[in-house]
Amino acid sequence: MGNTAKQRQNAYVLWFDEISKEDIPLVGGKNANLGEMYQKLTKTPSKIFKGETIKVPYGFAVTAESYRYFVKANQLDVKIASILKGLDTGNIKDLEEKGQEVRQAILGAKFPEDLEKEIKNSYTEMAERLHIDKGSLDVAVRSSATAEDLPDASFAGQQESYLNINGEYQLLEAIKKCIASLFTNRAISYRVDRKFDHFQIALSVAVQKMVRSDRGSSGVMFTLDTESGFKNVVLINAAWGLGEFVVKGVVTPDEYMVFKPTLKQGFNALISKKLGSKEKKLIYSSEGIAPTKEVPVTEADRHQFVLSEEQILQLSRWGVIIEEHYGRPMDIEWAYDGVTRELYIVQARPETVQARKDQNVLEEYVMLEKGRILVKGAAVGAKIGQGKAHFIKDASQISEFQEGEVLVTEITDPDWEPIMKMASAIVTNSGGRTSHAAIVSRELGIPAVVGCGNATKILQTGQPITVCCAEGEEGKIYEGLLKFKIEKHDLKNFVAPKTQIKMIVADPELVFGYSFIPNQGVGLAREEFIISNFIKIHPNALLNYDKLTDEHVKRQIDELTVGYSNKVDFYVHKLAYGIGILASAFYPNEVILRFSDFKTNEYASLIGGRDFEPNEENPMIGWRGASRYYDPNFSAAFALECQAVKKVREEMGLYNLKTMIPFCRTPEEGAKVLAEMEKNGLKRNKNQESGIKRTVKKIKSKIIKSSNPINQDLEVWCMAEIPSNILLVEEFGALFDGFSIGSNDLTQLTMGIDRDGKLVAHIANEKSEAVKKLIRDLISKAHKIGLKVGICGQGPSDFPDFAEFLVREGIDSLSLQPDTVLKTAIRIKELEDSMKKKK
């Protein structure tokens, strides 16, 4: 102890407290990072999180020098070179045969006597240092290649790990197996294809105290979103038992997401929580030769979240501490000891896929046609791939796989990397977004849909399919070879216009990707999408669950609310998580959330909805928006929306979230809604007088105060979509903090048409002079009383000349569909420049 690694260049064993991140040539990437974290982060208190430190299990590294000594002593370098001479990695059979021959040569070799003695002595010393009886010292034995886990070369999953190793004989055999794993088929292929010299890479082995996650849980953690590269989140996957099943994709784990900026401010920044199926787990084995065994997970545990909120936040804090220390996004493995009830970090490496991405080029895959959906799962990589499906059941079929086919399998075996690089896409039954299949597919730049459950039963070998991961978090496998396009946008020379360009968003699964499009926040976040796609249940059906008489509806509710003992909590939490992701994606820019604007027929289509909704002849101008929120038949449901918003703002710390009231017919109605919000903990403009009596002077002072997007006061905007909103600008303006034009509804109500009615649809025209006059009046009058005006209708996205009209009238912001933001922003900038020249 105490000697530095540099003083022991020729050492066969180095302890974690002798190693740092500079020592990759001596102990490989994995061990260098373990030593770095053990030395720097388990002892030094964090400045970000009130002196918190992380936990790393102690251990030692069998060095790269030991590997070289072992190789030379057995003349393995000569044997391996001879075996691999003339290897063609494209010839799968040749690769399999030569790889097997190399590994057998290694496993049949013997350790030199002095090296064996030092490893055994170190194992004994480790037990002494940890105050554990040597007979019960269980260790994890992990491979650590000297070229592994470099920022520009990911070798993740290329070498093996062996768990629950006990005793000197098992330890020596496990170390030998680790050395052999440097020459797995995939590792040989990987090095050859990336032009790494086999003999320039050495192998070190980590011998680390086991964490009893067989009695607890384990998983992986990334300090960014692995799909989009969005850097403000920590993504955690978790499952029961030892971590190998999560890494290899054997199980579909729970998935949690935490927002880093507000986590650092001390908030409960958990913004997403999804239950995984977790059908099986890996635990210690007390029978036979194998040290571990697979067992089924009980139904109760399958339906339970693996981690508590405090554990999720603790892991996230550790992820941030590690990331800040290394100065880059990280890929981390963690484990929870079910005996000591403590969390540990067992591995960390730099994230390599998103780190190499060119942030100045925005690449977008777009489906041009749709077909029959055959299978769904979790999308990996926002791309589209297509080809003939090819089901591979086991290694014996690998040589049958052809370039350009879609690999379909239960899980991807790490040995299959040579055929994965030939695939146009990958589809698996099992695994999550941090599984082996997901990691490799990202690195190869091909789309993958994982955790489908039944893909191998539905997709037939030879069947033409299109694998789409460009439509959100849910990946879809379509029948046939469908048309799609790839759009590339160069952002290097983009200059934003003076008029604020915001977005219209709805799907939380897409917004991290949208955040890279130049924008100034969100002018309309639609709550309805979250309710219809992620909750699916009418709020009153949850509030009155015990009174429901339809057993089919109750069964549907029970299936969707698994993991929640309180049905109402399910609604609030799911809604809050969806809103939280929308708000976090654009933080610190403002995100204006419109409260639910379903019509009665749309609410009725939700599960259990028909019992709580009236039949209306014309729902478009019926019981919708503001009129619902204070109605005794819906006010309790609106209270749940308020609770979700309160959770996002006050628990998650996302104070950039603002709210908007749709379809507010009268100022009196607006005042009633504000009163309902305040009753449910959402007091508009804290420390400010609210209500109609508030003066224009106070409105103006509020606008100045709100120029900081993270001002904690709650702003409430009003949709300007009814002529009364514009005819009574001053009265509505005394209640609200801004107006957002809903051009679709404003057009229908100005022109007296039902925009859902086909017979009169041809009359609708947002660019009619009547509509434009109302908009012109709103902008002028609102500006006079110090209020901003934006627009969130479809018009500016569809009609360039309409967008130009709005800019000429001095509108403050345009909210656009994401796919029109860039081209509209460029056009608006040109218009502003020409207007400036004319002045």
Asked if residue 304 lies in contact with residue 281, where contact means CB atoms within 8 angstroms, the answer is no
DSSP states of 317-341: HHHHHHHHHHTS-EEEEEEEETTTT
- The torsion angles phi and psi of 271, rounded to 5 degrees, stand at -110, -5
**How far is the CA of 75 from the CAs of 85, 105, 505, in angstroms?**
16, 10, 63
Q: Distance between CA 425 and CA 466 in Å, rounded? A: 9
Asked if residue 150 lies in contact with residue 29, where contact means CB atoms within 8 angstroms, the answer is yes
Closest CA to 59 of 35, 80, 33, 43: 35
Answer yes or no: 552 catalytic: no
Q: Distance between CA 268 and CA 649 in Å, rounded? A: 10
DSSP states of 215-253: GSEEEEEESS-TTT--TTEEEEEEEES-THHHHHTSS--
Catalytic residue (choose from 178, 325, 390, 436):
436
| 566 DSSP assignment | S
| 150 DSSP assignment | B
Q: From the centroid of its chain, how far is CA 426?
A: 19
Tokens linked to 269: 């920044």
Tokens linked to 484: 């799609």
CA angle 565, 570, 573 (to 5 degrees): 125
- The torsion angles phi and psi of 433, rounded to 5 degrees, stand at -75, -5
788-791 and 813-816: which strand pairing? parallel
Q: Distance between CA 769 and CA 210 in Å, rounded? A: 74
Q: Distance between CA 569 and CA 527 in Å, rounded? A: 17
Q: Distance between CA 217 and CA 253 in Å, rounded? A: 11
User: Please, which residues have CB within 8 angstroms of residue 526's CB and are 6 or more apart in sequence?
Assistant: 504, 505, 506, 594, 597
- The torsion angles phi and psi of 281, rounded to 5 degrees, stand at -145, 160
On the 0-12 / 13-18 / 19+ scale of CB atoms within 10 A, 322 is buried
Answer yes or no: 390 catalytic: no
Number of helical H runs and strand E runs in the chain = 31, 30
List residues with catalytic annotation: 436, 792
